[in-house]
């Protein structure tokens, strides 16, 4: 049987077993995801493309005209915001993502990171480290005094894989869960269908909802203005869910005690020197920003690539 020809721009240097598995199953061409001109030239002769889950250029026909020759694009990620919408509705092009299988539940890195960055924010770990680097010790205690999370109320917006894991982690720490997800049935959980209850009761809010066209700027100024307890706010889902000016408003007006985010809107066209959130974070310690690294572990990336390989093989069996 003729091997499927695949262009691979997803990084593999840290998961060598998966590279061997790809070579065993497919005819592979490996290219750095920043070599845009070469990628476009090579697409003419490929059946499919395993793309980087975080490319510098959006995967679109404008940036890569030769996408028209492909049968599929596979991304080793759940999110597909790095792939343009027009490609997702093209009848002769299949978009394969990790969200298409329940095996995604075996991947824990993003959940662990989401909980960890929340702890880092609440415990003021980053400011404390900077404090020592600047030659200080216990001389400014008030700036570094944090809070206990025991008995705190955690509001979880979106109860998929990451939301469920956050619920487990938080209960171990003695926290109470309230959950908002109108799209699924929750048995045995404290389901809150009214988002206003999340706003009124939460000490900490985690946003871990899937990105859709319906929830763009779902977290807006109106959301932040109705928060009662001045919670901590954590978002590791997608930047498009949170209106950036509204988040700045909440931080400046102390509607929230602080925020930690691993995502920013429009990451394929991101100008870090001009982004309002990045500029604010440089001068204020109540906003932590990391560069979309929640899922970056060799273990989770190996699992993601294994799932991608399975999905491609399944797709070509049809």
Q: What is the pLDDT of residue 195?
A: 87
Q: What is the pLDDT of residue 185?
A: 67
249: left (phi over 0), alpha (psi -120 to 50) or beta: alpha
Q: Using an 8 Å Cβ cutoff, are 215 and 209 in contact?
A: yes
Q: Using an 8 Å Cβ cutoff, are 272 and 247 in contact?
A: no
Q: What is the pLDDT of residue 1?
A: 56
If we measure between CA atoms, which residue out of 71, 76, 4, 72 comes closest to residue 33?
A: 76
Q: Note the pLDDT tens digit of each residue in 193-203.
A: 678 889 999 99
Q: Same fold for the domain at 5-105+297-317 and the one at 108-289?
A: yes
- Alpha-carbon dihedral angle through residues 88, 94, 99, 100, given to the nearest 10 degrees: 140
Residue 191 has pLDDT above 90, yes or no: no
Average pLDDT rounded to a whole number, residues 11-16: 92
In CATH, the architecture of 5-105+297-317 is: 3-Layer(aba) Sandwich (3.40)
Q: What is the pLDDT of residue 223?
A: 96
CA dihedral over 48, 82, 270, 119, signed as positive or negative: negative
Going along the chain, which residue ranges are E strands?
5-8, 27-30, 48-50, 72-75, 94-97, 153-157, 176-180, 204-207, 232-235, 258-261, 287-289
Rounded to two decimals, the pTM is 0.92
Residue 183 has pLDDT above 80, yes or no: no
Q: Using an 8 Å Cβ cutoff, are 110 and 294 in contact?
A: yes
Q: Note the pLDDT tens digit of each residue in 209-218.
A: 988 888 999 9
Q: Note the pLDDT tens digit of each residue in 249-259.
A: 999 999 999 99
CA distances from 17 to 162, 299, 301 (A): 26, 11, 11
Q: What is the pLDDT of residue 192?
A: 56
User: Which of the four pLDDT bands, split at 50, 70 and 90, describes residue 167?
Assistant: very high
Tokens coding 181: 């997800």
Q: What is the pLDDT of residue 186?
A: 61
Q: Where are the domains of the chain?
A: 5-105+297-317, 108-289
Q: According to CATH, what is the number of the domain 108-289?
A: 3.40.50.720
In the chain, % of residues over pLDDT 90? 84
H-assigned helices in 72-174: 85-88, 109-122, 125-133, 141-144, 161-172
Catalytic positions, please?
238, 267, 292
Q: Using an 8 Å Cβ cutoff, are 158 and 235 in contact?
A: no
Residue 77 has pLDDT above 90, yes or no: yes
Average pLDDT rounded to a whole number, residues 73-98: 93
């Amino acid at each position: 049987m003729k091997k499927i020809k695949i262009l691979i721009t997803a990084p593999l240097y840290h998961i060598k077993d998966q590279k061997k598995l790809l070579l065993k199953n497919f005819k592979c061409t490996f290219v750095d995801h920043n070599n845009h001109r070469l990628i476009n030239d090579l697409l003419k002769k490929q059946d499919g493309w395993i793309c980087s889950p975080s490319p510098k250029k959006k995967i679109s026909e404008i940036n890569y005209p030769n996408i028209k020759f492909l049968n599929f694009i596979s991304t080793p990620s759940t999110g597909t915001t790095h792939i343009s919408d027009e490609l997702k509705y093209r009848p002769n092009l299949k978009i394969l993502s990790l969200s298409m299988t329940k095996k995604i539940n075996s991947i824990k890195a993003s959940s662990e990171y989401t909980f960890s960055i929340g702890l880092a924010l609440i415990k003021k770990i980053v400011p404390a480290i900077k404090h020592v680097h600047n030659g200080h010790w216990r001389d400014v205690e008030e700036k570094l005094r944090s809070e206990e999370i025991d008995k705190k109320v955690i509001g979880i917006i979106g109860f998929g894989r990451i939301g469920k894991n956050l619920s487990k982690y938080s209960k171990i720490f003695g926290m109470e869960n309230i959950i908002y997800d109108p799209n699924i049935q929750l048995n045995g959980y404290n389901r809150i269908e009214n988002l206003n209850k999340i706003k009124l009761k939460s000490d900490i809010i985690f946003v871990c909802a899937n990105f859709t066209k319906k929830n763009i700027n779902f977290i807006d100024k109106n959301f932040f203005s109705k928060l009662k307890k001045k919670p901590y706010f954590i978002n590791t889902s997608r930047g498009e869910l949170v209106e950036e000016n509204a988040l700045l408003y909440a931080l400046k007006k102390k509607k929230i005690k602080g925020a930690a985010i691993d995502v920013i809107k429009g990451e394929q066209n991101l100008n870090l020197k001009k982004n309002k959130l990045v500029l604010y974070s440089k001068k204020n310690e109540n906003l932590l920003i990391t560069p979309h690294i929640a899922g970056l572990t060799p273990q989770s990336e190996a699992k993601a690539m294994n799932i991608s390989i399975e999905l491609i093989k399944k797709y070509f069996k049809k």
